[in-house]
Structure 1
């Protein structure tokens, strides 16, 4: 193994700093009046115990009568059965990080991504009150959170259309849930938070996010909601969203309190608040305030927010950041994607015009459902033989989190330097590709985007291998590799690997 001297030297010179000592997925929205680019800025993580891989799904046409399977199985926490619903004749191209496992939810699963109309989707958990969960039919039927995210990307040309589509799908086909969920849907002009509720009553509500809004979701939330929402273009929802609450005695329309979606339909736990509940180390309100203070927010700053070690840990399967701007050619729509938790992995640029993803960023058996109980399909032997980017950067994470106060600043500097070079390259890459498109040479433009994106992704993987080798070498030369003390490798539900070990989560990472 060749030890990168520069990395070992920097690490050896680092001094240890003083230190002291979830559920699923973050979503970030910054309206276009609060961003550096003038476009809507969206970001987030996915949090799943699962393999993750990148796909750019091409546009597809379907014959009349084609159907698509949706729903959950009897193995879900709230048992259900899958059903078939009609497929549309034309499905749009989109980019997504897929993953393989959530009990009873058939793979491949997605939290969302971005489509050729610049409709971006993020899926974020949002627990409902226990009465709704208890009254959910067993078995339940209808599309679940991943189905809804995928169908919005396949079918919506605007964020508003995406919201309307979710409402229509729930009304016509039902909704399968693990206990409530939200989606953040955005386009170059606006965003929407859509909250889908358990209970089998067809309940959902949506709130518009405008150009001056900033929203952080973990969990997703909607608060005050007009009772006459049908007459207000800033809100949408199921026809019975107010009446059902009145029928159940959860809301008094004659009372002094406004109709508040979180207070009526959200968790009723004593300490839960819409903007301060369910968080890891920082509340949604605190992160929103940070973004307000740094406005106009840049892509760099959004990447840093998603990368924050109080957010991006071993639970974060990937990171995503995108600027949504009007007038962009579909092939030129671009998104930054980290192949695993971005605290120790770089954001790589991808465009919808990219024609293939390197095998190293595709599906592998690491953390894939049923991998331990089956042998490899021979068709996948070459892909499986390649290095897995997600696994490599997991190694970087595990080494880094062994001594975060010494290692994390070095790793962060290397990641940010790599991303800075990518951002500098974007100027000539996109200008060249757009010039080819304008000259009616679209195939050449796609070839250029594919060459740059795949080459840069492989350079990122080389960086990850260099960092992993250097970190391992430094550990061996100093403290040695710590052997595990527990008898079980799998976590029993306690703290997962993170770079906040023994640190104060209330102190910004840069100050620790």
Structure 2
């Protein structure tokens, strides 16, 4: 820890045992995002990782670019079942939307599925969507019905339209300014491109309050929840800041901040829950900064951070790492690594913007899909539903592994890491093959190379999951036994405690 200050050393030393358990005693359904700037990575790329935490099935989609007729609109908002009831409105669609890769899901009361937390688009813009609670007095001001795009609408629209992280902020800020915002209590976004990142806070209350801060090449930021602390009073005149025109004045009018007090304007303290980043977030950020000092954060290390059992658990619907390089070999070779459920026990599989194929096993299934329990399967969906669901396979592996993590987690982590290292090693050769075909004027053949490889790795991931599950299931029964609750009426919990692989 040469060169580190005493506070950072203390944080890193605290990174084990009960301290970490308490640090991450946040509620489920929260989501997290991790940004590492290009000046701190081993290869000069920007890394953006994280997950969504929702009680839902999750499935991979590669959404093609689209053209839309003049006058086309999209429906945004929430309905009357939401925590803060609302009604849908129509807003204009743009003539051309971008291709993007995302994980979709269905469950959030009153929010119309499919929902998304972001992903990666053809312009190299990556997004993560993270909770950020608003202060109760502000949330109580939310009008009924509320109107305007919700967090998923904003994430999807950013993926469809943004050509840079900065533009993503201007797009969603402009939508909030013009059409309002439908909240579940407060939210944030992390956007990144090859040059920079931006964190955006969207506050509840129907007052149109939002603030955005630029993250530079020498920064690490973990949002759990999303946070922005000191905001310059004249932020709208400063580079690296954006926000609603009333962001400072509204707090003054409410008596929540006194400009004559000498105290800085802390966005989380004034409009949020006042907690800012937790001790656990500081630990993860400090680890990444230490790795940056030791040669730069690698793609491998970012995967490890997203996989950390402190933050990847049953609540994690998937894992995601966007590897945003300064120069891609070809515009269609932008890359997103995706784990089909919580990456603590699921491998990351590489997908490129050039691809279009998603195996049925990684597509939408009925398991944990909202509203499907009371229906039968449509004939045209039979083959999809007949396939093994990757999310369910790796959930089963998680439940066995996390029931005895000291015994089983090390071998699972070792196997997943080896699988991903193989993919990382092979990816360059795959890109070179496809690049030759792109340059030869054979884009369809180039894209087929990408699809074939991603699908092959996805199949290999399933085979690895089957092998690990079979082995651990057999040994768990012999070594740990099978103990089930006598009362099986309540199998689930929405807010914890829930299954995780932390070793206490």
Give TM-score scaled by structure 2 length. 0.92
Secondary structure, in 3 states, of the residue corresponding to 1:253? coil
Match of 1:274 in 2: 276
Superposed, 1:47-126 pairs within 5 Å as: 47-126=53-132
Secondary structure, in 3 states, of the residue corresponding to 2:201? strand
User: Structure 1 residue 492: deviation in Å?
Assistant: 6.2
Match of 2:237 in 1: 231
Q: 1:69 to 1:469 in 2, by over 3 A?
A: same
- Residues 194 and 205 in structure 1, CA contact (< 8 A), matched pair in contact too: yes
User: Structure 1 residue 275: deviation in Å?
Assistant: 1.6
**1:201 aligned onto 2:225:** no
User: Structure 1 residue 274: deviation in Å?
Assistant: 1.0
Q: Distance in 1 between matches of 2:312 and 2:76?
A: 30
- Residues 140 and 175 in structure 1, CA contact (< 8 A), matched pair in contact too: yes
Pick from 158, 161, 176 the counterpart of residue 152 of structure 1. 158
Secondary structure, in 3 states, of the residue corresponding to 1:47? coil
Match of 2:14 in 1: none
Match of 1:254 in 2: 260
User: Structure 1 residue 484: deviation in Å?
Assistant: 2.6
**1:127 aligned onto 2:128:** no
User: Structure 1 residue 395: deviation in Å?
Assistant: 0.7
User: Structure 1 residue 202: deviation in Å?
Assistant: 1.0
Superposed, 1:5-404 pairs within 5 Å as: 22-23=27-28, 24-268=30-274, 273-276=275-278, 283-295=280-292, 296-328=296-328, 329-404=330-405
Secondary structure, in 3 states, of the residue corresponding to 1:122? strand
Match of 2:492 in 1: 490
Structure 2 unmatched runs, 5+ = 1-16, 22-26
Q: 1:40 to 1:141 in 2, by over 3 A?
A: same
Q: Distance in 1 between matches of 2:84 and 2:67?
A: 34
**1:442 aligned onto 2:474:** no
Q: Distance in 1 between matches of 2:346 and 2:495?
A: 24
User: Residues 178-209 of structure 1, C-alpha deviation per residue, up to 9 Å, x if partnerless?
Assistant: 11100001100000001011111111000000
Match of 1:469 in 2: 470
User: Residues 310-365 of structure 1, C-alpha deviation per residue, up to 9 Å, x if partnerless?
Assistant: 11100000001122123323321111100000000000101111121000000000
- Residues 299 and 322 in structure 1, CA contact (< 8 A), matched pair in contact too: no
User: Structure 1 residue 76: deviation in Å?
Assistant: 0.5
Q: Distance in 2 between matches of 1:103 and 1:492?
A: 13
User: Residues 255-312 of structure 1, C-alpha deviation per residue, up to 9 Å, x if partnerless?
Assistant: 21111111111114xxxx2122xxxxx5211211111011110010000001011111
Q: Distance in 2 between matches of 1:482 and 1:162?
A: 50
Q: Distance in 1 between matches of 2:199 and 2:402?
A: 34
Give TM-score scaled by structure 1 length. 0.91
Match of 2:9 in 1: none
Superposed, 1:402-481 pairs within 5 Å as: 402-481=403-482
Q: 1:383 to 1:492 in 2, by over 3 A?
A: closer
RMSD: 1.4
Q: Distance in 1 between matches of 2:263 and 2:184?
A: 29
- Residues 122 and 334 in structure 2, CA contact (< 8 A), matched pair in contact too: yes
Q: Distance in 2 between matches of 1:357 and 1:248?
A: 51
User: Structure 1 residue 479: deviation in Å?
Assistant: 3.3
- Residues 213 and 228 in structure 2, CA contact (< 8 A), matched pair in contact too: yes
Match of 1:3 in 2: none
Secondary structure, in 3 states, of the residue corresponding to 2:118? strand
User: Residues 157-186 of structure 1, C-alpha deviation per residue, up to 9 Å, x if partnerless?
Assistant: 011101001111001111000111000011
Q: Distance in 2 between matches of 1:156 and 1:421?
A: 32
- Residues 44 and 326 in structure 2, CA contact (< 8 A), matched pair in contact too: no
- Residues 56 and 94 in structure 1, CA contact (< 8 A), matched pair in contact too: yes
Q: Distance in 2 between matches of 1:427 and 1:236?
A: 38
Match of 2:11 in 1: none
**Please, which moves more after superposition, 486-495 or 242-251?**
486-495
Secondary structure, in 3 states, of the residue corresponding to 2:247? coil
- Residues 55 and 494 in structure 2, CA contact (< 8 A), matched pair in contact too: no
Structure 1 unmatched runs, 5+ = 1-18, 277-281, 505-512
User: Structure 1 residue 482: deviation in Å?
Assistant: 2.1
User: Structure 1 residue 108: deviation in Å?
Assistant: 0.1
Match of 1:10 in 2: none
Q: Distance in 2 between matches of 1:212 and 1:486?
A: 53
